[in-house]
Structure 1
Amino acid sequence: MQLSLLLTQFINGLQTGSIYALVALGYSMVYGIILLLNFAHGDVIMIGAYSLFYALVQFHFHPIVAAILAVLSSTVVGLLIQQIAYRPLLNAPRLSLLITAIGMSFLLQNGAQILFGADAKSLGPLVPGALHLGNTSISYAAIVTLLVSVLSMVALTLLVSRTKRGQAMRAVSEDMDAARLMGIDVNRTIAFTFLIGSALAGIGAVLYVSSYPQVSPTMGSMLGLKAFVAAVLGGIGSLPGAMVGGLLIGVLEVLASAVGLSVWKDAVVFAILILVLLFKPDGIMGVTRREKV
């Protein structure tokens, strides 16, 4: 019985961790391109979650159609943020970009409270039911989350490593000025990076609501922060590192709850961030960047 409980908890950790990994991928992609910590990324997830909620509850769309609309809304909002807020500051000091990202986060949160109200809204389970294997019960939502996350990560890896657009992204990440000299449209490449990152945020929103069927204006805040910790743990700017970091954070959260530290699980996550920054600031799979002075 203890073994089945441990297995169930581990699967729950992978389910949560895979959502963190998807969101962390968006952080890592943007940071790898323009060295920006996009703290509005979590609030893009919130926009996708509200789109999903209203598509299902108010307009009674089919869940698949509602999920597509949620991904599209996150993608559009992410692109608008990049074009309106970040693109004019591309050559500004990084601190200006960081402050702008924090400002966009507060703008989206407060705008959502004005539009949708400050109270949390609940909806029915998107993927009801569970698979029973002996004493182990695995929800269908967990299975769908793991499958969609793995497929998204594989598709992103192939996009970055096998396509011309992915080669352009890697070139801009390596040296933006040299990429311009080689004829790469840097602005378009950055916009494409935000498009992919925001689409991943939309997928993360759908999976998160599938696991926790509730939406609120501040739901993206803690989710985004934990995904940021996952990106730092794996190595900020490293896509494989973001995946590994997200899964580790999810499993460690569940283990903390299993040993009676459920009240402190958020503190455990941020304690991990402090330890990583103290002892291995480049993360598990991060690469040290050396700058010539």
Structure 2
Amino acid sequence: MGFISYLVNGISLGSVYAIIALGYTMVYGIAKMLNFAHGDVIMIGGFVVFTTVSGMGLPPMLGVLISVVVCTVLGMVIERIAYKPLRGASKLAVLITAIGVSYFLQNVALLIYGSNTKSFTSVVSIEPLSLADGAIIISGETMVTILACIVIMVVLTSFIKYSKSGQAMLAVSEDSGAAQLMGVNVNATIALTFAIGSALAAIAGVLLCSSYPALTPYTGAMPGIKAFVAAVFGGIGSIPGAFIGGILLGVIEILGKAYISSQLADAIVFAVLIIVLLVKPTGLLGKQIQEKV
């Protein structure tokens, strides 16, 4: 029964990684850039809920809604101020800027909240589910996290496939120049992509902090890196790939901690990524792109 419990916890953690990875893969697929400040948006989302719920006494769901709105606006502001002026710059310049934005957000949180760990109150009030006469106990946070990931995947996939804005995203990801000639507002499409990704980061931050109730200005750093690994694992630019990569990464991490070593779990995760990329450099669901010269 222990294995099943570990597997469920791995799927739960992987669901958080998958939600975060969706932001990475959407931004890369459409804007062709890596937003390494994405992990810190998770942290901002957690602190917004911490402030509104624990500090101001607002209902948890209202706090989550405010967090989503704040992170959505934050994502659009970051894109407008930091990334839009570098639209035609080299990828190295964009990468350095993303790292700079990440450190900026961390230091703003340090100035406001300090470096002490804050105790995060879970926003989930669902009672744990007991199975097999108590041998397996699934927490409310685990159930909500897995369900939220599935719902987000279905809604996002439907949005991309059937909505006008989603079709614009597909067009920009395929060829931004041609899309602009066909009347697609590329700048607005990229801004919308950042908004969606940041909103998902807020949800992921709340779910992560509810399951692991400790919050610091560096809370989003390692989950952000692991979510990026998940996106690469599944195939960067692929939404189903981000989902599969996140789930697999969470399961591998939890099983590694349980059966091998808790100290080596992160090393195992990155080692698996290296092996996958050696065998299939584009990731599990990534497509080989041929460039004409």
TM-score by length of 1: 0.97
For 1:84 and 1:163, locate their aligned partners in 2 and report how far apart those are by CA, in whole Å.
28
Which residue of structure 2 lines up, in the alignment, with residue 21 of structure 1? 18
Q: Could you tell me how far 1:20 is from its partner in structure 2?
A: 0.1
Cα deviation, 1:166-191, whole Å, max 9, x if unaligned, reads 00000000000000110000000000
Which residue of structure 1 lines up, in the alignment, with residue 279 of structure 2? 279
Q: Could you tell me how far 1:25 is from its partner in structure 2?
A: 0.5
Pairing of 1:227-238 with structure 2 (within 5 A): 227-238=227-238
Cα deviation, 1:160-217, whole Å, max 9, x if unaligned, reads 0111100000000000000011000000000011111111111101111111111110
Q: Which runs of 5+ in 2 are unaligned?
A: none
Q: Could you tell me how far 1:88 is from its partner in structure 2?
A: 0.7
Secondary structure of the corresponding residue to residue 263 of structure 2: helix
Aligned length: 290
Pairing of 1:59-138 with structure 2 (within 5 A): 59-128=56-125, 129-134=127-132, 135-138=135-138
Q: Which runs of 5+ in 1 are unaligned?
A: none
Secondary structure of the corresponding residue to residue 150 of structure 1: helix
Secondary structure of the corresponding residue to residue 264 of structure 2: helix
For 2:243 and 2:75, locate their aligned partners in 1 and report how far apart those are by CA, in whole Å.
21
Q: Could you tell me how far 1:273 is from its partner in structure 2?
A: 2.5
For 2:263 and 2:32, locate their aligned partners in 1 and report how far apart those are by CA, in whole Å.
34
Pairing of 1:155-194 with structure 2 (within 5 A): 155-194=155-194
Cα deviation, 1:110-161, whole Å, max 9, x if unaligned, reads 1211111011101333325311112211101111111111111111000001
1:199 matches 2:199: yes
For 2:129 and 2:50, locate their aligned partners in 1 and report how far apart those are by CA, in whole Å.
26
Secondary structure of the corresponding residue to residue 130 of structure 2: strand
8 Å CA contact 2:121–2:210 kept in 1: the answer is: no
Secondary structure of the corresponding residue to residue 129 of structure 2: strand
Which residue of structure 2 lines up, in the alignment, with residue 243 of structure 1? 243
Which residue of structure 1 lines up, in the alignment, with residue 218 of structure 2? 218
Aligned residue type for 1:170: L
For 1:168 and 1:259, locate their aligned partners in 2 and report how far apart those are by CA, in whole Å.
46
For 1:111 and 1:148, locate their aligned partners in 2 and report how far apart those are by CA, in whole Å.
29
Cα deviation, 1:28-57, whole Å, max 9, x if unaligned, reads 000001211110000011100000111111
Q: Could you tell me how far 1:234 is from its partner in structure 2?
A: 0.1
1:30 matches 2:27: yes
Which residue of structure 1 lines up, in the alignment, with residue 9 of structure 2? 12
Secondary structure of the corresponding residue to residue 263 of structure 1: coil
Q: Could you tell me how far 1:277 is from its partner in structure 2?
A: 2.8
For 1:151 and 1:214, locate their aligned partners in 2 and report how far apart those are by CA, in whole Å.
26
Q: CA RMSD in A?
A: 1.0
Q: Could you tell me how far 1:267 is from its partner in structure 2?
A: 1.0
